[in-house]
């Protein structure tokens, strides 16, 4: 553990040194200090939002604002672990507040019940990271543009049944990465059991500064698939990229996600939406066969845990400026049990 006097001398309290000792050993004191100075806005407190909130609170950010204008539904009480029983009808962010605070009293957790789409630009400049879930494509693009303009790290994510995704726009992002470098070989030993071992080169590590440029979500969705470059990119692009656009279009048109209570009706609506979206993009309808709809209903807790873990990890990496971030999509398929990173942009 980081000793008390040493911790105080290096700018953290004894309590923080004890709470974050494991993390400090993992990514270093300077990275932890960046985290504890960071403010995060998290929008959408369904199952995925709860997972992300948990991960950020335990990591030790300075402040986390939970924003959600929706009321708790019966389904939320089954899939969202921050919401206690008896909360149906209450605001989702407010209902999540007490348990979220209990995870780590050193993090300032607040609730906001307003609509993120109605927030002025100045509101977002209070934060170092903005993470959106449960939002329409229009809101995602609007907030991303605000964040990109103001140098705020932007993340988005959702879970639809067995499918989940994450998108990151970190602008011009600088980070350090640990790299191995060969060390000088030790002096050879003439004989004995250590002779062979002494001749081996041992590895040391060094921190290397790097920079990555990210694109807007609008650019990631604006690829011209009819060009030669677009056709080449299409061959290696995951169908989940197109599935995401179909599901966001459905959300925009219906004002909600596909519901198990209206499975037959929503299945047909999803297929019609697929046809329109893929035609507009200029790609073949066979990218998403008819049975794609069977895995798009509700939030699967296991998928929320995986995607929430990745989202939380990427936000921590962005804030701490440690290690290479994912650029720019991550898609997870719970039926196959695997994830894929796609770097897509219109330019």
What is the per-residue pLDDT across 275-295, written as a single tens digit (0 to 9) for each?
Answer: 999 999 999 988 999 999 999
Note the pLDDT of residue 5.
Answer: 44
Q: Are 162 and 49 part of one and the same domain?
A: yes
Across 117-125, average pLDDT: 97
Other beta carbons within 10 angstroms of residue 290's beta carbon come to: 11
For the ranges 183-187, 244-248, 269-273, which has the lowest average pLDDT?
183-187
**pLDDT confidence of 2, banded at 50, 70, 90?**
very low
Q: Nearest-CA neighbor of 345 among 133, 169, 129, 98?
A: 169
Residue 8 lies in a domain: no
Residue 5 lies in a domain: no
Cα–Cα distance measured from residue 192 to residue 55, given in angstroms and rounded to the nearest whole number: 51
Q: Are 26 and 133 part of one and the same domain?
A: yes
For 63, 87, 294, 300, the CA distances from 78, given in Å and listed in that order, are 27, 11, 21, 11
Note the pLDDT of residue 11.
Answer: 67
Q: Are 18 and 64 part of one and the same domain?
A: yes
Residue 111 lies in a domain: yes
**pLDDT confidence of 32, banded at 50, 70, 90?**
confident
3-state helix, strand, coil in the chain (%, to 5): 45, 20, 35
Name the average pLDDT for the chain: 90
| Residue, of 204 and 304, whose pLDDT is higher | 304
Note the pLDDT of residue 14.
Answer: 79
**pLDDT confidence of 190, banded at 50, 70, 90?**
low
Q: Are 118 and 199 part of one and the same domain?
A: no
Note the pLDDT of residue 8.
Answer: 44
Tell whether the model's pLDDT for residue 21 goes beyond 80: no
Other beta carbons within 10 angstroms of residue 229's beta carbon come to: 12
Tokens 């694109």 belong to which residue? 215
Cα–Cα distance measured from residue 306 to residue 315, given in angstroms and rounded to the nearest whole number: 14
Q: Are 146 and 83 part of one and the same domain?
A: yes
Cα–Cα distance measured from residue 220 to residue 345, given in angstroms and rounded to the nearest whole number: 4
For the ranges 23-27, 165-169, 196-200, 250-254, which has the lowest average pLDDT?
196-200
Residue 289 lies in a domain: yes
Across 144-171, average pLDDT: 98
Tell whether the model's pLDDT for residue 346 goes beyond 90: no
Q: Are 51 and 144 part of one and the same domain?
A: yes
Note the pLDDT of residue 320.
Answer: 94
Across 58-81, average pLDDT: 94
Tokens 């980070």 belong to which residue? 175
| Number of domains present in the structure of the chain | 3
Q: Nearest-CA neighbor of 304 among 27, 78, 62?
A: 78
Range of the domain at 235: 217-295
């Amino acid at each position: 553990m980081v000793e008390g006097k040493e911790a105080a001398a290096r700018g953290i309290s004894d309590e923080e040194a004890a709470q974050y000792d494991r993390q400090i050993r993992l990514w270093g004191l300077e990275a932890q200090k960046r985290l504890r100075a960071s403010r995060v806005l998290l929008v959408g407190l369904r199952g995925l939002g709860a997972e992300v909130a948990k991960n950020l609170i335990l990591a030790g950010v300075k402040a986390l604002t939970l924003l959600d204008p929706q009321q708790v539904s019966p389904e939320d009480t089954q899939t969202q672990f921050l919401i206690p029983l008896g909360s149906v009808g209450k605001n989702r962010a407010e209902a999540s507040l007490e348990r979220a605070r209990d995870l780590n009293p050193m993090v300032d957790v607040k609730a906001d019940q307003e609509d993120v789409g109605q927030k002025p630009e100045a509101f977002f400049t209070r934060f170092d990271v903005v993470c959106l879930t449960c939002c329409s494509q229009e809101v995602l693009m609007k907030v991303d543009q605000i964040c990109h303009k103001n140098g705020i790290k932007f993340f988005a994510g959702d879970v639809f049944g067995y499918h989940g995704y994450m998108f990151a726009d970190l602008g011009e992002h600088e980070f350090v990465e640990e790299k191995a470098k060969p060390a000088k070989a030790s002096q050879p030993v003439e004989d004995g059991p250590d002779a062979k071992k002494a001749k081996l080169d041992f590895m040391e590590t060094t921190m290397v500064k790097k920079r990555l440029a990210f694109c807007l979500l609008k650019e990631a969705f604006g690829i011209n698939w009819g060009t030669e470059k677009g056709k080449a990119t299409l061959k290696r692009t995951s169908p989940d990229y197109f599935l995401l656009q179909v599901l966001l279009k459905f959300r925009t048109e219906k004002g909600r996600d596909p519901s198990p209570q209206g499975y037959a009706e929503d299945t047909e609506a999803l297929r019609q939406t697929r046809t329109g979206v893929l035609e507009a993009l200029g790609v073949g309808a066979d990218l998403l066969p008819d049975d794609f709809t069977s895995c798009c209903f509700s939030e699967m807790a296991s998928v929320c845990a995986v995607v929430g873990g990745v989202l939380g990890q990427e936000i921590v990496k962005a804030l701490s400026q440690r290690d290479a971030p994912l650029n720019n999509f991550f898609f997870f398929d719970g039926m196959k049990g695997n994830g894929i990173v796609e770097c897509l942009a219109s330019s």
